[in-house]
């Protein structure tokens, strides 16, 4: 491993490193190989997913959402080098008033048919001036389907219930305020979440 790289996080799909990029502290995200996949398929998938993630990150920034600026893409080495955004994660700075902005961010994505796929409090960075940025588009994709957007929010809702139970009601209410403000289909998405939850309760009661 490059001695100038500092491992920050090792996930199932990728590794994050803190690096020096021409005098600037940056993040290097490298997709790791999967031994259970055929080599040719593995190389193809990692290359395509690297390009896809970088494309969605850039598209979100074009929409005015705070995301890391991409410095360099090396598809052959499955690497994205991007801006390091200083601050705390929303998980560590989980104030209810932050969630209005979070709702606007996700509402803007859904308005433009981008499904983040991993909306967690660990994937929002809160800077010292309370600016909120969204990171990690590794599971993101384009979709117009209401069910995909509802599933995106339902995951986030479940995470909030399990991590900030005492402040969930206020935080999710604030999230909905922001979400409704920017996305005209918000009522339909929220109703779809309720339908999914009803189906889940019915399935558990049957089985």
Three-state secondary structure call for residue 15: strand
- Which is nearest to 37 in space by CA: 28, 46, 27, 24? 46
Instruction: Mark whether 96 and 186 lie in a shared domain.
Output: yes
**What is the per-residue pLDDT across 88-103, written as a single tens digit (0 to 9) for each?**
999 999 999 999 999 9
Neighbours of 15 (CB within 10 A): 17
Total number of domains in the chain = 2
Instruction: Mark whether 100 and 185 lie in a shared domain.
Output: yes
Residue entry with tokens 């209410």: 173
Report the Cα 137 to chain-centroid distance in Å.
5
Dig out the tokens for 78 from the structure. Answer: 């499955």
Query: Among 68, 83, 98, where does a domain finish?
Result: 83
**What is the per-residue pLDDT across 22-77, written as a single tens digit (0 to 9) for each?**
999 999 999 999 988 999 999 999 999 999 999 999 999 999 999 999 999 999 99
Q: Determine the average pLDDT of the residues in 187-205.
A: 76
Instruction: Mark whether 154 and 138 lie in a shared domain.
Output: yes
**Residues annotated as part of the active site:** 118
| 178 vs 35, higher pLDDT | 178
Residue 1 forms part of a structural domain = no
Residue 110 belongs to what domain range?
A: 88-206
List helix spans (H) across 37-142. 39-62, 98-111
Evaluate if residue 199 carries a pLDDT over 90.
no
**Distance between CA atoms of residues 126 and 89, nearest Å:** 6
**What is the per-residue pLDDT across 110-141, written as a single tens digit (0 to 9) for each?**
999 999 999 999 999 999 999 999 999 999 99
Query: Among 83, 118, 138, where does a domain finish?
Result: 83
Mean pLDDT of the chain: 93
Residue entry with tokens 């994050």: 16
């Amino acid at each position: 491993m490059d001695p100038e790289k500092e491992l920050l996080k090792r996930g199932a799909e990728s590794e994050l490193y803190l690096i020096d990029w021409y005098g600037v502290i940056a993040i290097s995200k490298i997709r790791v190989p999967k031994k259970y996949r055929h080599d040719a398929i593995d190389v193809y998938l990692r290359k395509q997913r690297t390009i896809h993630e970088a494309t969605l990150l850039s598209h979100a920034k074009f929409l005015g959402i705070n995301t890391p600026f991409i410095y360099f893409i090396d598809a052959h080495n499955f690497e994205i080098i991007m801006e390091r955004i200083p601050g705390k994660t929303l998980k560590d700075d989980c104030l209810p008033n932050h969630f209005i902005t979070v709702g606007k961010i996700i509402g803007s994505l859904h308005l433009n048919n981008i499904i983040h796929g991993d909306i967690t409090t660990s994937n929002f960075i809160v800077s010292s001036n309370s600016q909120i940025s969204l990171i990690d588009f590794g599971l993101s994709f384009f979709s117009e389907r209401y069910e995909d957007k509802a599933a995106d929010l339902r995951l986030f809702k479940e995470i909030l219930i399990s991590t900030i139970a005492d402040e969930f009601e206020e935080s999710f209410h604030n999230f909905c305020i922001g979400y409704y403000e920017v996305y005209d289909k918000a009522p339909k998405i929220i109703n779809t979440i309720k339908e999914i939850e009803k189906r889940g309760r019915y399935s558990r009661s049957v089985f």
